């Protein structure tokens, strides 16, 4: 339907704009020859390399060339490793996906029940405790939580590994660190959504009809309250992407985030460009999915 | 239980060996390793007190049948740079290609004495006129990956590939200056010819100490696979280990090579894991996830107090220095020859340490500023507080042989004297101190950032605003190549490796792509003279003149020599003898398990 | 307010005053206000409050623990790796955090609000374009761009402010636009239009006042986001250049010594958490007071 088509076009426009941004970034950094040239090279060799790399062409032509290659799936070659960027990205995606998945699972498995509990036991001790946890969870900086967890569980108690991907135990600490923020967010969102719905006419009617408390909560309130968290989903994804950069750095988790940070340090711009484009693409795609989900769940939107 | 590591300094041995070679002059064939005449037998600088007792050889049986199937795991914070065909090498943190135990050079410095041991050759001979070497290659050296046996063709090809146009190998300059050519006389004999005698050439290319050392690769492999594929291919070396896996930024796995021509390794597998955070490196060490890892000095006690761990110091320090960049005062001739300089957008005479090139008063003020900066740094305090005593103050721009060091250090001693420093600044026209930015490049020493920040703090105490910025060496390189900078650069070198001396690196400037901001005519002219000296006394005199100049002018401001400490799992590891030139990313064949 | 009760008038007794006071206080987010006041006062009067120089220390005073853990009264919170007093650095760091928050919120908030109002009021292709730009902003991983720029251009205060302003204007734009879309349907706007009022006048007199509560709520909640973002960027090395103290860089500098000199990393992290918590609670309270309808706004 027309709505979806418009969203798809918007997504494509987004990606195009990002390619310009990414191209511009690699151009401001300076002359790419300075990364490739040997320390003993002469001025003549410098000029030759410039011609080889097409640096004497006007900028827009270089950009068009760049985009053409992109469309054909050629993201260029890493300046450091001399391997195609696509291969390198491909090898790191599973690690990032694993971490993001585990973090998301943690956020949902911890956040949702706590959010519901908090709404149902509104005003009580449980509610207050859970709300404090949620606020703290969103207030503490990710890197600090990471260091704290490493210190307590890896260095201090020596229960869990604190770096790299060595098996299923090694994903625990990074996933908790990354998912902590999301869990807190879910708690707060779900709680307020649930409260809204629980107060609504619709639920009061169900109650008046004699439906049991549990039925009311799960059948009616919960489903309608889901709309809130789903909207929050894209924000959660954004925070997962941003958070994973810091988390992967601290835990040396070999994913896309760490790859990007290393690429920045090493002035390896093709890789950096690749990661930015990939994450943007993932985000755009996920937003589209959320829109579709919305259409499916909320009949009101369909009518519009 | 203590494990011993001894190392040797090639840098001074370069000069000594070269001299010995040249003064030998009349040729003769040596099939024994050469003993450097003046180097004392035991000058491993005992900066730490951990290297005392020595585990005896009783447990190191040499026959392959006792080879363990065990894996040795090492943590490194920067597992990078495929060490492939040398000419394709992207920039390494120290401009220097590691051997990994996979690639070999003609000779290596012995572990515990200042002698060269043969690896790929069985003998060498110097021509009577001092302008050529003949190397006798070892028979039966097999390449990894069944590319056949090593012949003179491979050796010649490897050398030529290193110095070809477009290569970014660090030996090009020296090879070009000397006009070196190589020729395969027969299957197992290689002959090198130079335009003029050169005391640096021998060790630079045939020892294992410098980045220029020729690692021999299979010519057949590159011709068969093509250059690009060969770059990514993991075979083609000759050493006791083969690359089994290379995952950039993740890990490297090596496996013992069955067909190795020398003493085979006692280990089956070596894994080098990348772990960036020092806290997690140490956690991994304590939990047994890794067998060895670099440990920052202040944490050494904590690691040593763990019953299953031990610490070893390299004994061979790396130098940490501060470059005042922007000193671009070269003209277009050097020693009478016209030169073609790169553009220098970074030249900024308003910087306090640069001054106007043609104005003697301005130059004298700039000199005073640099001297003031040098005197404002409390080097001993950095050694005591940051390095925990594992290091010592440095007063010269390169690491000198310890013996000469002790004699000459007093002569060029620079006191910690902030009051005089302030006076000098007032004289130079900066009564309120100087504002500066110090860039700290990383990748060499775990404490480099702290040392750099301490230097910034000392300079800031003079009154100005001194900021710091941290970036990797490769992140900083582009602007250095482009000669854009006129700030301060704090640069560290790893301990245990033999970094090519600063000054020899600068010899081909200003025509070279890379220059840290030191294009001052006087020292460079002197360095160029060193190429063709033929007598020991001459070298000493020239060296002294050079260092006099550096001491007076502080063109490069030396800070400290910093040692490094390796934490090792002493429950599992019995012994690891390291030669210099590998840091800790090599010599795995010398590891003995318990 | 308590409903009127028959009986003796006790409203002037000490008991009643105490109870009244407590009841009144409970309505306000007291702890948040206290924490924020302390931090703002520290930021403003930093040079007067800080016992030592925040940028220069004595190397031989390295890693002194906090007073209660074996340190001295000279350095209540201990010293860091270069011998600098941590309390002084925290106090001066508050300056950076407060300055960054104020400027980023002002710039980002003003731009975001303006664009949101224009977008909501004008509709049509103007609306489309502006919302597309907002979408793009949310899709791009800003932190990577920030890191790259910090390496290319060198870290600077100006760069940090620019990046953080850019980070948050999108939230303002979206929320304000949503509110404007509602206001525009109101009768009094239609009435103003039919009287021939110009769009600018309408925006000024009717629309801006209507969005103020939303702006305040979003603004307060974004303070937390800005502070956390600044801390993360400082941690990764893209914040203010050292030795200017910033809480995020302080945590980063101490991470090597988390086992032995834990206070260097722990204390700044706690302070960041306190600030963000205080601000978030305040934002929640404001939101509930100004318009409970706004409960859906979480960031």
Tell me the per-residue pLDDT of C249-292, one tens digit each, with 9 for 90 and over: 899 888 888 878 889 999 999 999 999 989 888 888 887 777 65
* Tokens read off for B525: 């002219």
- Asked if residues A207 and A197 have their Cβ atoms less than 8 Å apart, the reply is no
Chain C neighbours (≥3 Cβ pairs under 8 A) are: A, B
* Chain C stretch 65-104, residues whose beta carbon is closer than 8 A to a beta carbon of chain B: 81-83
Q: Cis before residue B510, ω within 30 degrees of 0?
A: yes
pLDDT classification of A292: cutoffs 50, 70, 90: confident
Q: Do the chains contact at C296 and A192, CB–CB below 8 Å?
A: yes
* Tokens read off for A88: 């390198």
pLDDT classification of B457: cutoffs 50, 70, 90: very high
Contact with chain A for residue C289, Cβ under 8 A: no
- Tally the C-alpha atoms within 13 A of residue B223's C-alpha that lie toward its C-beta: 8
pLDDT classification of C108: cutoffs 50, 70, 90: very high
Mean pLDDT of A256-280: 87
H or E stretch covering A260: helix A256-265
Q: Point out the residue among B279, B467, B475 whose CB comes nearest to the CB of C243.
A: B467
Query: What would the pLDDT profile of A117-142 be if each residue is shown by its tens digit?
Result: 888 777 778 888 888 888 888 888 88
Chain B neighbours (≥3 Cβ pairs under 8 A) are: A, C
pLDDT classification of B8: cutoffs 50, 70, 90: very low
- Distance in angstroms (rounded) separating the CA atoms of residues C147 and A25: 11
- Which of the listed ranges A161-170, B251-260, C205-214 does the model predict with the highest average pLDDT? B251-260
* Closest chain A residue to the Cα of B86, Cα to Cα: A38
Contacts of C260 in chain B (CB under 8 A): 298-299, 302
Contacts of B469 in chain C (CB under 8 A): 154-155, 241-242
Mean pLDDT of C36-58: 89
Mutation site for A-interface testing, chosen from B170, B274, B277 by largest number of A Cβ within 10 Å: B277
Close Cβ partners of B476 (under 8 Å, ≥ 6 residues apart): B439, B441, B489
* Tokens read off for B544: 């002294």
For residue B507, pLDDT beyond 50: yes
* Closest chain A residue to the Cα of B172, Cα to Cα: A40
Contact with chain C for residue A163, Cβ under 8 A: no
- Distance in angstroms (rounded) separating the CA atoms of residues C157 and C162: 9
Close Cβ partners of B507 (under 8 Å, ≥ 6 residues apart): B173, B174, B177, B524, B527, B528, B530, B531
SS3 A200: coil
Burial B390-417 (b: 16+ CB within 10 A, else e): bbbbbbbbbbbbbebbeebeeeeebebe
For residue A25, pLDDT beyond 50: yes
Q: Do the chains contact at C241 and B456, CB–CB below 8 Å?
A: no
Average pLDDT, chain A: 79
* Tokens read off for B89: 């090498």
Q: Do the chains contact at B273 and A164, CB–CB below 8 Å?
A: yes
* Closest chain C residue to the Cα of B382, Cα to Cα: C59
Contact with chain A for residue C258, Cβ under 8 A: yes
- Distance in angstroms (rounded) separating the CA atoms of residues A294 and A289: 9
- Which phi and psi (to 5°) does residue B573 adopt? -95, 130
Contacts of B340 in chain A (CB under 8 A): 42-43
Mutation site for B-interface testing, chosen from C79, C243, C250, C255 by largest number of B Cβ within 10 Å: C243
* Closest chain C residue to the Cα of A281, Cα to Cα: C139
Contacts of A32 in chain C (CB under 8 A): none
Q: Do the chains contact at A30 and B169, CB–CB below 8 Å?
A: no
Residue B341, burial from CB neighbour count under 10 angstroms (0-12, 13-18, 19+) = middle
Q: Do the chains contact at C141 and A241, CB–CB below 8 Å?
A: yes
pLDDT classification of B504: cutoffs 50, 70, 90: low
- Distance in angstroms (rounded) separating the CA atoms of residues C163 and C105: 12
Q: Do the chains contact at B277 and A251, CB–CB below 8 Å?
A: yes
More confident residue, B29 or B393: B393
- Distance in angstroms (rounded) separating the CA atoms of residues A245 and A258: 6
CB atoms under 10 Å from CB of A302, counted, come to 12
Contact with chain C for residue A235, Cβ under 8 A: yes
CA B422 to chain centre: 35
pLDDT of residue B380: 95
Residue B229: DSSP 8-state: H
Q: Do the chains contact at C139 and A245, CB–CB below 8 Å?
A: no
More confident residue, B435 or C128: B435
pLDDT of residue A222: 65
Mean pLDDT of A79-84: 74
SS3 B258: coil
- Asked if residues A4 and A292 have their Cβ atoms less than 8 Å apart, the reply is yes
For the ranges A245-259, C10-24, C145-159, C181-195, which has the lowest average pLDDT?
A: C10-24
Contact with chain C for residue A297, Cβ under 8 A: no
CB atoms under 10 Å from CB of C152, counted, come to 19
Residue B342: DSSP 8-state: P
pLDDT of residue B170: 56
Mean pLDDT of B402-410: 57
pLDDT of residue B405: 54
pLDDT classification of B104: cutoffs 50, 70, 90: confident
* Closest chain C residue to the Cα of B472, Cα to Cα: C151
H or E stretch covering A181: helix A172-199
Q: Do the chains contact at A276 and C140, CB–CB below 8 Å?
A: yes
pLDDT classification of B44: cutoffs 50, 70, 90: very low
Close Cβ partners of B90 (under 8 Å, ≥ 6 residues apart): A36, A79, A80, A81, A82, B81, B82, B168, B474
- Distance in angstroms (rounded) separating the CA atoms of residues B133 and C270: 67
* Closest chain B residue to the Cα of C80, Cα to Cα: B450
For residue C188, pLDDT beyond 60: yes
- Distance in angstroms (rounded) separating the CA atoms of residues C243 and B453: 8
- Distance in angstroms (rounded) separating the CA atoms of residues B126 and B135: 9
* Closest chain B residue to the Cα of A84, Cα to Cα: B232
For residue B214, pLDDT beyond 90: no
Q: What is the DSSP string of B451-489?
A: HHHHHHHHHHTTTS-EEEEEEEHHHHHHHHHTT---SEE
pLDDT of residue B498: 47
CB atoms under 10 Å from CB of B576, counted, come to 20
If you count residue pairs, one on A and one on B, with CB atoms under 8 Å apart, how many are there?
Answer: 151
Contacts of B82 in chain A (CB under 8 A): 81-82
Give the Å distances, CA to CA, from C298 to C28, C102, C207: 20, 20, 23
Q: Cis before residue C243, ω within 30 degrees of 0?
A: yes
Close Cβ partners of B163 (under 8 Å, ≥ 6 residues apart): B169, B171, B172, B175, B176, B180
pLDDT of residue B435: 94
Contact with chain B for residue A30, Cβ under 8 A: yes
Q: Do the chains contact at B378 and C259, CB–CB below 8 Å?
A: no
Query: What would the pLDDT profile of C72-105 be if each residue is shown by its tens digit?
Result: 888 999 999 999 999 999 999 998 888 889 999 9
Q: Which long-range contacts (CB under 8 A, 24 or more apart) does C264-268 make?
A: C264/C63, C264/C78, C264/C80, C264/C81, C264/C86, C265/A144, C265/A147, C266/A148, C267/C66, C267/C77, C267/C78, C267/C86, C267/C90, C268/C86, C268/C90, C268/C93
For the ranges A49-53, A299-303, B146-150, B416-420, which has the lowest average pLDDT?
A: A299-303
Average pLDDT, chain B: 74
pLDDT of residue B355: 85
Name residue, tokens 């600098």.
Answer: C84
Give the Å distances, CA to CA, from B162 to A40, A84, A256, B181: 12, 24, 34, 12
- Distance in angstroms (rounded) separating the CA atoms of residues B289 and B271: 11
- Distance in angstroms (rounded) separating the CA atoms of residues B178 and B196: 6
For residue C131, pLDDT beyond 50: yes
* Closest chain B residue to the Cα of C147, Cα to Cα: B471
Contact with chain B for residue A79, Cβ under 8 A: yes
pLDDT classification of B34: cutoffs 50, 70, 90: very low
Q: Do the chains contact at A140 and C145, CB–CB below 8 Å?
A: no
Q: Do the chains contact at A259 and B249, CB–CB below 8 Å?
A: yes
pLDDT of residue B20: 40
CB atoms under 10 Å from CB of A21, counted, come to 16
- Distance in angstroms (rounded) separating the CA atoms of residues B283 and B280: 5
Q: Do the chains contact at C258 and A147, CB–CB below 8 Å?
A: yes
Close Cβ partners of B70 (under 8 Å, ≥ 6 residues apart): B267, B268, B269, B572, B593
Contact with chain B for residue A14, Cβ under 8 A: no
- Distance in angstroms (rounded) separating the CA atoms of residues B438 and C235: 19
Contact with chain B for residue A265, Cβ under 8 A: yes
- Distance in angstroms (rounded) separating the CA atoms of residues A238 and A280: 10
pLDDT of residue B460: 93
Q: What is the DSSP string of B141-204?
A: PBPTTS--B--HHHHHHHHHHHHSTT---TTHHHHHHHT-EEEEEETTEEEEE-SS--TTHHHH
Mean pLDDT of B432-451: 89
Contact with chain B for residue A151, Cβ under 8 A: yes
Q: Do the chains contact at B382 and C59, CB–CB below 8 Å?
A: yes
Q: Point out the residue among B302, B385, B468 whose CB comes nearest to the CB of C59.
A: B385
Mean pLDDT of B182-200: 86
Mean pLDDT of B368-382: 95
- Give the sign of the dihedral formed by CA A27, CA A31, CA A32, CA A35: negative
- Asked if residues B33 and B117 have their Cβ atoms less than 8 Å apart, the reply is yes
Which stretches of A102-183 are assigned E, i.e. beta strand?
A: none
- Asked if residues B95 and B500 have their Cβ atoms less than 8 Å apart, the reply is yes
More confident residue, C136 or B114: C136
- Give the sign of the dihedral formed by CA B214, CA B220, CA B221, CA B227: positive
Q: Do the chains contact at B299 and C259, CB–CB below 8 Å?
A: yes
- Distance in angstroms (rounded) separating the CA atoms of residues C201 and A88: 56
Q: What is the DSSP string of A27-78?
A: HHT--THHHHS-TT--HHHHHHHHHHTTTTS-HHHHHHHHHHHHHTT---B-
Nearest partner of B19 among B135, B120, B119, B126, judged by Cα: B126
Mean pLDDT of B196-214: 70
Average pLDDT, chain C: 83
Q: Point out the residue among B378, B453, B471 whose CB comes nearest to the CB of C242.
A: B453
Query: What would the pLDDT profile of B253-297 be if each residue is shown by its tens digit?
Result: 888 888 888 887 778 888 888 777 777 788 888 888 888 888 887
For residue C4, pLDDT beyond 60: no
pLDDT classification of B367: cutoffs 50, 70, 90: very high
- Asked if residues A181 and A243 have their Cβ atoms less than 8 Å apart, the reply is yes
pLDDT of residue B293: 87
Chain A neighbours (≥3 Cβ pairs under 8 A) are: B, C
Q: Point out the residue among A40, A43, A91 whose CB comes nearest to the CB of B342.
A: A43
Mutation site for A-interface testing, chosen from C134, C148, C299 by largest number of A Cβ within 10 Å: C148
For residue A115, pLDDT beyond 50: yes
Give the Å distances, CA to CA, from B516 to A205, B325, B350, B481, B487: 79, 6, 18, 8, 10
């Amino acid at each position: 339907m027309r709505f979806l088509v418009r969203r798809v076009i918007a997504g494509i426009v987004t990606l195009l704009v990002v390619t310009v941004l990414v191209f511009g970034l690699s151009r401001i950094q300076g002359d790419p020859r300075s990364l490739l040239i040997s320390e003993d090279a002469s001025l003549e060799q410098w000029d030759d390399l410039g011609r080889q790399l097409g640096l004497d062409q006007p900028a827009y032509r270089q950009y068009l060339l760049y985009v053409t290659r992109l469309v054909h799936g050629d993201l260029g070659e890493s300046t450091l490793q001399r391997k195609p960027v696509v291969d390198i990205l491909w090898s790191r995606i599973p690690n990032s996906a694993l971490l993001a998945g585990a973090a998301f699972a943690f956020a949902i498995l911890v956040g949702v029940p706590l959010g519901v509990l908090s709404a149902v036991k509104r005003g009580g001790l449980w509610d207050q405790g859970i709300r404090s946890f949620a606020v703290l969870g969103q207030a503490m900086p990710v890197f600090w939580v990471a260091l704290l967890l490493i210190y307590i569980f890896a260095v201090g108690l020596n229960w869990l590994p604190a770096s790299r991907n060595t098996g299923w135990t090694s994903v625990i600490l990074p996933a908790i660190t990354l998912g902590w923020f999301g869990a807190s967010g879910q708690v707060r969102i779900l709680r307020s959504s649930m409260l809204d719905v629980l107060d609504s006419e619709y639920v009061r009617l169900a109650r008046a009809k004699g439906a049991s408390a549990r039925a009311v909560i799960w059948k009616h309130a919960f489903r309608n309250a889901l709309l809130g968290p789903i909207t929050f989903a894209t924000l959660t994804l954004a925070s997962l992407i941003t958070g994973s950069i810091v988390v992967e750095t601290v835990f040396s988790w070999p994913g896309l985030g760490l790859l990007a940070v290393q690429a920045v340090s090493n002035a390896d711009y093709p890789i950096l460009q690749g990661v930015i484009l990939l994450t943007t693409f993932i985000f755009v795609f996920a937003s589209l999915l959320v829109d579709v989900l919305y259409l499916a769940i909320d009949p009101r939107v369909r009518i519009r | 239980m203590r494990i011993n590591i001894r190392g040797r300094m090639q840098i001074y041995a370069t000069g000594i060996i070269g001299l010995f070679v040249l003064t030998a002059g009349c040729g003769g064939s040596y099939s024994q390793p050469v003993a450097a005449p003046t180097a004392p037998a035991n000058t491993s600088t005992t900066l730490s007190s951990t290297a005392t007792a020595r585990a005896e050889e009783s447990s190191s049986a040499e026959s392959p049948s006792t080879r363990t199937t065990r894996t040795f795991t090492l943590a490194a914070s920067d597992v990078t740079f495929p060490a492939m065909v040398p000419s394709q090498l992207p920039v390494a943190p120290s401009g220097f290609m590691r051997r990994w135990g996979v690639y070999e050079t003609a000779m290596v410095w012995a572990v515990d004495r200042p002698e060269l041991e043969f690896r790929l050759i069985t003998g060498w001979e110097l021509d009577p006129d001092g302008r050529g070497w003949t190397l006798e290659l070892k028979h039966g050296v097999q390449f990894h990956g069944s590319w056949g046996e090593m012949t003179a063709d491979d050796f010649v090809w490897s050398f030529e590939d290193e110095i070809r146009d477009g290569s970014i190998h660090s030996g090009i300059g020296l090879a070009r200056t000397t006009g070196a050519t190589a020729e395969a006389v027969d299957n197992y004999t290689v002959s090198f010819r130079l335009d003029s005698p050169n005391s640096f050439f021998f060790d630079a290319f045939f020892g294992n100490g410098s980045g220029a050392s020729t690692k021999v690769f299979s010519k057949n492999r590159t011709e068969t696979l093509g250059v690009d594929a060969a770059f990514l291919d993991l075979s083609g070396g000759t050493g006791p280990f083969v690359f089994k896996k290379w995952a950039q930024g993740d890990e490297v796995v090596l496996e013992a090579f069955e067909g190795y021509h020398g003493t085979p390794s006692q280990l089956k597998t070596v894994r080098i894991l990348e772990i960036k955070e020092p806290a997690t490196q140490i956690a991994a060490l304590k939990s047994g996830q890794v067998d060895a890892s670099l440990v920052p000095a202040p944490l050494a006690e904590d690691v040593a107090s763990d019953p299953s761990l031990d610490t070893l110091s390299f004994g061979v320090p790396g130098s940490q220095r501060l470059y005042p960049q922007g000193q671009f005062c070269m003209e277009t001739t050097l020693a009478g020859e016209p030169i073609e300089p790169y553009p220098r957008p970074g030249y900024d005479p308003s910087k306090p340490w640069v001054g106007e090139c043609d104005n003697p008063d301005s130059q004298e003020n700039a000199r005073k500023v640099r001297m003031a900066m040098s005197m404002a740094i409390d080097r001993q305090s950095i050694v005591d507080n940051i390095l925990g005593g594992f290091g010592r103050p440095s007063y010269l721009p390169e690491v000198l042989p310890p013996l000469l060091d002790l004699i000459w250090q007093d002569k060029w001693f620079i006191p910690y004297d902030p009051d005089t420093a302030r006076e000098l600044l007032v004289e130079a026209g900066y009564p309120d101190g100087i504002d500066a930015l110090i860039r700290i490049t990383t990748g060499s020493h775990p404490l480099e950032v702290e040392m750099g920040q301490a230097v910034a703090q000392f300079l800031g105490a003079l009154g100005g605003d001194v900021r710091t910025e941290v970036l990797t060496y490769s992140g900083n390189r582009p602007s250095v190549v482009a000669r854009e900078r006129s700030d301060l650069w704090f640069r560290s070198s790893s301990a245990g490796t033999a970094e090519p001396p600063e000054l020899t690196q600068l010899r081909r400037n200003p025509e070279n792509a890379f220059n840290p901001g030191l294009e001052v005519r006087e020292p460079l002219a002197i360095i160029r003279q060193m190429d063709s000296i033929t007598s020991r006394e001459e070298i000493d005199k020239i060296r002294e003149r050079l260092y006099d100049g550096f001491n007076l002018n502080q063109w490069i401001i030396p800070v400290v020599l910093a040692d490094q400490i390796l934490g090792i799992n002493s429950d599992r590891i019995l012994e690891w003898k390291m030669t210099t030139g590998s840091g800790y990313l090599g010599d795995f064949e010398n590891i003995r398990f318990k | 307010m308590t409903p009127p009760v028959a009986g003796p008038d006790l409203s002037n007794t000490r008991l009643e005053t105490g109870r009244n006071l407590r009841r009144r206080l409970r309505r306000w987010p007291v702890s948040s206000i206290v924490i924020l006041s302390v931090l703002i006062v520290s930021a403003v009067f930093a040079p007067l409050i800080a016992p030592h120089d925040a940028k220069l220390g004595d190397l031989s005073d390295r890693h002194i623990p906090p007073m209660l853990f074996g340190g001295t009264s000279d350095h209540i919170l201990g010293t860091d790796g270069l011998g600098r007093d941590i309390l002084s650095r925290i106090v001066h760091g508050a300056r950076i955090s407060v300055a960054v928050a104020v400027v980023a919120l002002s710039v980002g908030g003003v731009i975001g609000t303006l664009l949101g109002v224009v977008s909501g009021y004008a509709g049509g292709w103007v609306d489309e374009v502006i919302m597309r730009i907002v979408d793009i902003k949310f899709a791009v991983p800003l932190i990577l761009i920030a890191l790259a720029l910090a390496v290319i251009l060198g870290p600077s205060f100006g760069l940090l402010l620019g990046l953080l302003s850019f980070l948050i204007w999108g939230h303002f734009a979206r929320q304000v636009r949503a509110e404007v879309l509602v206001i525009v349907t109101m009768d009094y706007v239609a009435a103003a239009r039919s009287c021939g009022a110009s769009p600018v006048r309408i925006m000024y007199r009717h629309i801006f006042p209507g969005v103020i509560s939303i702006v305040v709520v979003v603004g307060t909640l974004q303070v937390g986001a800005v502070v956390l973002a600044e801390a993360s960027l400082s941690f990764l090395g893209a914040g203010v250049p050292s030795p200017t103290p910033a809480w995020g860089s302080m945590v980063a500098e101490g991470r090597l010594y988390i086992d032995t000199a834990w206070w260097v990393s722990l204390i700044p992290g706690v302070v960041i958490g306190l600030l963000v918590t205080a601000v978030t609670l305040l934002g929640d309270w404001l939101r509930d007071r100004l318009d409970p309808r706004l409960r859906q706004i979480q960031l």
